[in-house]
């Protein structure tokens, strides 16, 4: 049995689905089910006896302690987080509460449970904390990619809150001996991505005939990681990672945002042409850059490759085609997540 927090969100749901696709070890999913934690992401598991979904907050220490005591998981994988930079700029309080205070309460509940385990189970237990490359700050164009030894230099309320949570996890290992692992990933993309992030927003807006917003000059560079590759990396770190260590997870796909926009437009031109025959790139609209926008992220994932033998299975070309096809084939999912709150948010952010 494993406990997955934030397991109804984008990366967490992909992890739960992939976990149960490759083995039969049961999963307890704990998710607050806010706007980005969508129960529909796990709809295919509705009648699967291997999966239990519990609505709740990682900050609810009593609830977490009860789940741990009842289900006796051998591992906790923590995806639960507020994770959108733009939202953190407009309202940082939720990010402080979930990513810092919530992580603290989760760690304390897990520490209490772990401390009471028998020696064999205690030695086998793992707490895996999923984090982001944004904690490292920004890179200049010619700087080497982030390694695990880079200084932590977050530049947004979101990345600062995630950096704080990383520090808490490290401290609970060194102070209390909690057997932790941390992963810091690059930009994920793929199925079930809430359409406020770049790639799903491009797909949804293109098909709706809406503008495709590009911040500033569109030359912000990110390393793009297909979400299912990220899930396989987490499984590998959980299986064989060295306690207390951090592992960077990247896709070796550095792309400027504007290149991403043009790639998605070209794929849609091929797979779902506009009725008027015009290219989707005609919908590109440049908007004012966001405050403190990091110019470049890039992940050096060689430690994960050399120690644990992990490499991404997808190139950007194969992964982005799979992603666009998934959104085209799952229009009902897209329609259901586009609530009034989501539409108001997009209008506010990109006006």
* Residues annotated catalytic, as ranges: 133-134, 158
Cα-based angle 120, 242, 169 (whole degrees, multiple of 5): 90
Distance CA 151, CA 136 (A): 6
Tally of CA atoms within 13 A in the half-sphere of 254 that contains its CB: 17
Residue in the block written with tokens 């959104």: 327
Rg (CA), the chain: 20
Cα-based angle 346, 102, 231 (whole degrees, multiple of 5): 70
Is 59 within 8 Å of 101 (Cβ atoms)?
Answer: yes
Cα-based angle 103, 71, 5 (whole degrees, multiple of 5): 30
Residue among 8, 5, 4 at smallest CA distance from 337 = 8
Q: Using the 8-state DSSP alphabet, how is residue 252 labeled?
A: S
What DSSP string runs through 66-84?
A: HHHHHH--SEEEE------
Distance CA 31, CA 104 (A): 16
Is 278 within 8 Å of 207 (Cβ atoms)?
Answer: no
């Amino acid at each position: 049995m494993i406990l997955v927090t934030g397991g109804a969100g984008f990366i967490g749901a992909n992890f739960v689905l992939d976990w149960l696709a490759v083995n039969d070890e049961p999963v307890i999913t704990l998710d607050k089910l806010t706007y980005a934690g969508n129960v529909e992401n796990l709809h295919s598991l509705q009648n699967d006896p291997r999966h239990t979904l519990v609505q709740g907050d990682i900050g609810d220490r009593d609830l977490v302690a009860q789940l741990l005591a009842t289900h006796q998981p051998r591992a906790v994988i923590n995806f639960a987080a507020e994770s959108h930079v733009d939202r953190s700029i407009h309202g940082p309080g939720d990010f402080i509460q979930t990513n810092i205070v919530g992580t603290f309460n989760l760690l304390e509940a897990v520490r209490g449970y772990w401390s009471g385990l028998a020696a064999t189970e205690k030695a086998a237990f793992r707490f895996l904390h999923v984090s982001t490359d944004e904690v490292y700050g920004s890179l200049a164009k010619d700087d080497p990619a982030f390694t695990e030894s880079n200084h932590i230099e977050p530049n947004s309320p979101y990345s600062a809150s995630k950096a704080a949570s990383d520090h808490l996890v490290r401290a609970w290992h060194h102070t209390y001996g909690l057997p932790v692992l941390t992963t810091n990933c690059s930009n994920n993309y793929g199925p079930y991505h809430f359409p406020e992030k770049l790639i799903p927003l491009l797909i949804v807006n293109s098909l709706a005939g809406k503008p495709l917003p590009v911040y500033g000059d569109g030359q912000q560079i990110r390393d793009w990681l297909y979400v299912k590759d990220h899930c396989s990396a987490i499984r590998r770190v959980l299986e064989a990672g060295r306690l207390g260590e951090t592992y960077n997870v990247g896709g070796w796909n550095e792309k400027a945002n504007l290149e991403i926009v043009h790639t998605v437009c070209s794929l849609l031109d091929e797979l779902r042409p506009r009725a008027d025959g015009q290219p989707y790139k005609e919908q590109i609209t440049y908007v004012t850059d966001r405050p403190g926008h990091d110019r470049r992220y890039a992940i050096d994932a060689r430690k994960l490759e050399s120690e644990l033998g992990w490499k991404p299975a997808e190139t950007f070309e194969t992964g982005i085609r799979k992603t666009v096809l998934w959104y085209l084939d799952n229009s009902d999912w897209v329609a259901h997540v586009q609530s009034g709150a989501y539409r108001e948010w997009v209008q506010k952010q990109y006006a």
